[in-house]
Amino acid sequence: MAFTEFRPLDEKSLIEYIKATPSLSSKLDNNFDDLKIKEVGDGNLNFVYIVSGSTGSFVIKQALPYIRCIGASWPMTKERAYFEAVTLKEQGRLCPEHVPEVYHFDHTMSLIGMRYLEPPHIILRKGLIAGIEYPLLAEHMSEFMARTLFFTSLLYNSTTNHKRAVAEFCGNVELCRLTEQVVFSDPYKVSEYNRWTSPYLDSDAEMVREDNTLKLKVAELKSMFCERAQALIHGDLHTGSVMVTCESTQVIDPEFAFYGPMGFDIGAFLGNLILAFFAQDGHADQGNDRKTYKEWILRVIDETWNLFHKKFIELWDEHKDGHGEAYLSAIYNNLELQQLVREKFMKDLFHDMLGFGAAKMIRRIVGVAHVEDFESIKDAGKRADCERRALELAKMLLKDREKFQGITEVVTAIQKIQL
């Protein structure tokens, strides 16, 4: 069976594909007798298969030419698989401890073969819903974000190499446009794809659409998202793009990757942790009020930013005399000036992170694609109460992000809204 043209694979044709692909069949020692294939894609865009046998296992991910959760009425480029494969390899090179290895990429079939993250790995979002604590989460995620963002920025690279990389990822324009639409546009206008917990949040959704200050602030963020090629960002770094155990943290699904603002990745991750925090009351029961777990989430938020800040500055200091052309040593040639530069950079990044995180939260409450943290709360009234508190915080962060001087103030604001 030839695979010279794109076609969606099912379980039967996938077996034939694996047999015809040495980089995959070798992972199974060419033993297909007890092969098991399970389709596990629960996302919005792709087919995902777990392939396992007695001699090996891996994951196959195939991009479809449309948005899976909506159908052929919303076309989507298959080229996203190329950008995902390139990003997995690059981020895996920069942070191999926290990115699964790529075994195979087929451009024609828009297909990636990669390491299977075996149980007890689960999607972080599901762990947060279940109330599981992950003691190394802040350490691991801060490491991943610090290394992948620093080493793909002008703090480390020459402008020539940076622009070459930016140019390549400009090809991922369709997924960038999707983000522009669902994060920075749709929630602020009437859109056929928007939804919310109705009728409870009808007036809340309307207030978002009529808030002029909110619209001015989100316009600033959209401009930054579209125009600022600061570093190679994952582009969709929510808690559904992270798989975890108590000892391991693995970042997956970077198909939205491009050169954009660093704060978008950090904000996406911390914003989704904040959503998880506000969802906890909806998952509380007589046996567990989730108060202790909510305190743990707040600690992770605090520690993730503080550890990221520390690691990022350490990388900057270690490579300050390297090839990076953002701040040439001949100009920034004294300790006082270097310290001022770093303080300004990290302050701006902190505020960027708050803004993008808030925008990501808003779209998950009144936009097209919601989060399981809230959706799994069966009581609609209780769900709406949780969502309303999260929305209130997000609007405040988006409009007043420059007023916050540190992550501790953000945690305090979360706690005040929760009361």
User: Cα–Cα distance between 109 and 79 in angstroms, integer?
Assistant: 10
Residue 65 located in a structural domain: yes
**Is residue 228 included in any domain, yes or no?**
yes
Assigned domain for 3 exists: no
Q: Report if residue 96 sits inside a domain.
A: yes
Q: Which domain holds residue 181?
A: 122-418
Backbone φ, ψ for residue 256 (5° rounding):
-90, 10
Cis check: omega of the bond before 120, within 30 degrees of 0: yes
* Residue 207 clears pLDDT 90, i.e. is over it: yes
Q: What is the pLDDT of residue 267?
A: 99
| 305: exposed, middle or buried (Cβ count in 10 Å: 0-12, 13-18, 19+) | buried
pLDDT > 90: what percent of the chain? 94
- Tell whether 6 is covered by a domain: no
pLDDT at 69 over 70: no
Of the three residues 65, 97, 114, the one that is the final residue of a domain is 114
pLDDT band (50, 70, 90) for residue 401:
very high
pLDDT reported for residue 122: 98
Is residue 5 a part of any domain in this protein? Answer: no
Q: What pLDDT, on the 0 to 100 scale, is given for residue 104?
A: 99
- Contact assessment for residue 232 and residue 169, using Cβ atoms and an 8 Å cutoff: yes
Contact 387, 293 (CB under 8 A): no
Q: Domain boundary residue among 114, 132, 153?
A: 114
Q: What residues contact residue 418 under an 8 Å CB cut-off, 6+ apart?
A: 277, 278, 294, 389
At 29-43, the pLDDT tens digits run 999 989 999 999 866
Of the pLDDT bands very low, low, confident and very high (cuts 50, 70, 90), residue 78 is very high
pLDDT exceeds 70 at position 326: yes
Residues 292 and 231 in one domain: yes
Q: Please, which residues have CB within 8 angstroms of residue 310's CB and are 6 or more apart in sequence?
A: 142
Q: What is the mean pLDDT of residues 315-330?
A: 96
Alpha-carbon span 238 to 140, nearest angstrom:
15
Tokens 């603002």 belong to residue: 261
Higher pLDDT, 286 or 190: 190
Report the alpha-carbon distance of residue 392 to residue 409 in Å, rounded.
Answer: 16
3-state helix, strand, coil in the chain (%, to 5): 55, 10, 35
Q: Where among 114, 146, 171 does a domain terminate?
A: 114
Kindly report the CATH number assigned to the domain that includes residue 146: 3.90.1200.10
Q: To which residue do tokens 């978008």 refer?
A: 264
Proportion of the chain above pLDDT 70, given as a percent:
98
- 55: domain CATH number is 3.30.200.20
- Per-residue pLDDT, 1: 62
User: According to the model, what pLDDT value does residue 68 have?
Assistant: 67
Task: Decide: residue 184, CB within 10 A, 0-12 exposed, 13-18 middle, 19+ buried.
Answer: buried
Q: Is the pLDDT of residue 245 over 90?
A: yes
Q: What is the mean pLDDT of the chain?
A: 96
66 and 134 both lie in a single domain: no
What's the domain count of the chain?
2
CA–CA separation, 129 and 144 (whole Å): 23
**Terminal-to-terminal C-alpha distance of the chain:** 62
SS3 call for 102: strand
Overall average pLDDT of the 314-326 stretch: 97
Pair 272, 181 in one domain: yes
- The pLDDT-based confidence of 209 (bands split at 50, 70, 90) is very high
* pLDDT at position 76: 86
**Are 221 and 108 in contact, with CB atoms under 8 Å apart?**
no
How much is the pLDDT for 44? 64
Per the structure block, which two tokens stand in for 143?
A: 């490491």
Nearest CA to 370 out of 283, 272, 298 is that of 272
| Residue 139 predicted with pLDDT over 70 | yes
Dihedral sign, Cα of residue 66, residue 68, residue 69, residue 72: positive
Q: Strand 36-39 vs strand 249-251: parallel, antiparallel, or unpaired? A: unpaired
84 and 212 belong to one structural domain: no
50 and 130: one domain?
no
Banded model confidence at residue 131, pLDDT cuts 50, 70, 90: very high
pLDDT at 232 over 70: yes
Residue 299, in any domain of the structure: yes
State pLDDT tens for residues 262-295: 999 999 999 999 999 999 999 999 899 999 999 9
Query: What's the pLDDT at 43?
Result: 62
